[in-house]
Amino acid sequence: MSEAEHARLSRRQVLRQVAGVAAGTAAAGLLAWRLHDPTGERGKPAEPELSLPQGGYAVEPSTVLPALGVATGQSVAALVKGAVDAIGGMGRFVHRGDVVVIKPNVAFERAAALGATTNPEVLRALVTLVREAGAREVRVADNPIESPEACFVRSGVQRAAVEAGATVYLPTPRDFRTLAVPGATWIARWPFFHRPFVGATKVIGVSPVKDHNLCRASMTTKNWYGLLGGRRNQFHQDIHGIIADLALMMRPTLVILDATRVLFRSGPTGGSLSDVRPGNTVVASTDSLAADAFGWHELLDRRSEPLPAYFEKSAARGLGKPDWKSQHVKRVQVG
């Protein structure tokens, strides 16, 4: 700065400059103080944790109604209605204004006839029943193993759901939140497909009856696998423990065992019609262990073999009664 310019600096200018620098320093200091993170903990992302409602989505247990409703016959719509009616009808489970999440098994990109996914006609009948019972909204959701869109389209579930008036929820990258499952061995905190559950009041699982390479049978309890994200491929290291955790995680309103077809070998993927036999049966229950045990004995026809270990593990937690024979089973024959 030349002497001449120096001479021109007025007192006011000097004061203004000094005040400006002081204010800037103070603001920077304040900001640093507000953002200060001495341990490095504050900078870590806060992970919001999610909980499902206390007691899950179950309705009041009944002492008079049958524990299992088993419908046999040809007409799929009548099978679903018959099975649900046998345990009290849809009116027992879904009331006017309910928001219902239905979880089919759409894990693989397979045509419905191959039995690896929930029969879309069963889903259609179920969505219709739920809507007729007064549900405000029906959401169909699953997190498949293969490409979600393709799985939903190829299996026919997409079309059946939409035509029956449900909304399909496919998983997108931001749809998973950590779910707290108190008491679970492995999945006490695990990424959960939460978007369909925002505001949901009832949850219905509807799964096919499938052979499974590791846990021997994949039915309504194993079906909740499709609500989880994250490193699911670690689950096989204790598959029975995981299924017992799944039973703990989700206390559904109702489960439907879709045995219109039975994938009796090469499960859970199948892929050949020779792996599938007609079952012509639909089972409804509030107890997924009872329904699955029924499926093991009567539908997979494995009476001579002991139940897979996950039944006992889940039952030990008081999550159901695999001993279906000692319970009230109502069998109906429909058209």
Where are the extended beta strands (E) located within the chain? 49-50, 68-72, 99-104, 137-141, 167-169, 176-180, 189-193, 202-212, 216-218, 254-263, 276-285, 329-333
Binding string to another protein for residues 173 to 192, with x set by CB under 8 A, is what? xx------------------
Cα–Cα dist 217/327, whole Å: 22
Closer to another protein by CB, 205 or 267: give it.
267
Closer to another protein by CB, 106 or 283: give it.
106
- Of residues 13, 16, 19, 149, which one binds another protein by CB under 8 A? 149
Q: In sequence order, what DSSP letters do the residues of 115-167 get, joined into one string? A: SSS--HHHHHHHHHHHHHTT-SEEEEE---SS-HHHHHHHTSHHHHHHHHT-E
Cα–Cα dist 200/195, whole Å: 10
Tokens, residue 131: 């809507």
Stretch that binds another protein, among 22-30, 233-241, 249-257, 326-334 (CB under 8 A): 233-241
- Of residues 25, 62, 172, 333, which one binds another protein by CB under 8 A? 172
Residues of span 248-277 touching another protein by CB under 8 A? 266, 268-272, 275
Tokens, residue 259: 């045995």
Tokens, residue 287: 């107890």
Stretch that binds another protein, among 32-40, 88-96, 164-172, 313-321 (CB under 8 A): 164-172
Contact call for residues 266 and 272 (beta carbons, < 8 A): yes
Closer to another protein by CB, 269 or 281: give it.
269
- Of residues 50, 58, 77, 145, which one binds another protein by CB under 8 A? 145
Closer to another protein by CB, 225 or 324: give it.
225
Question: Which among 58, 64, 101, 89 is positioned nearest to 284, based on CA atoms?
Answer: 89
Residues of span 46-105 touching another protein by CB under 8 A? none
Cα–Cα dist 152/161, whole Å: 10
Tokens, residue 260: 């219109």
170 binds another protein (CB under 8 A): yes
Cα–Cα dist 44/168, whole Å: 34
Stretch that binds another protein, among 59-67, 123-131, 230-238, 245-253 (CB under 8 A): 230-238
Residue 266: HSE in the Cβ half-sphere, 13 Å Cα cutoff: 13
Binding string to another protein for residues 104 to 143, with x set by CB under 8 A, is what? ----xxx--------------------------------x
Binding string to another protein for residues 209 to 228, with x set by CB under 8 A, is what? ---xxx--------------
Closer to another protein by CB, 268 or 279: give it.
268
Closer to another protein by CB, 42 or 236: give it.
236
237 binds another protein (CB under 8 A): yes
**CA 107 centroid distance within chain:** 12
Contact call for residues 210 and 267 (beta carbons, < 8 A): yes
Cβ at position 264, least distance to another protein in Å: 12
Q: How many residues bind another protein (CB under 8 A)?
A: 36
Applying CB under 8 A, the residues found at the interface with another protein are 108-110, 143, 145-150, 152-154, 170-174, 195, 212-214, 231, 233-234, 236-239, 266, 268-272, 275
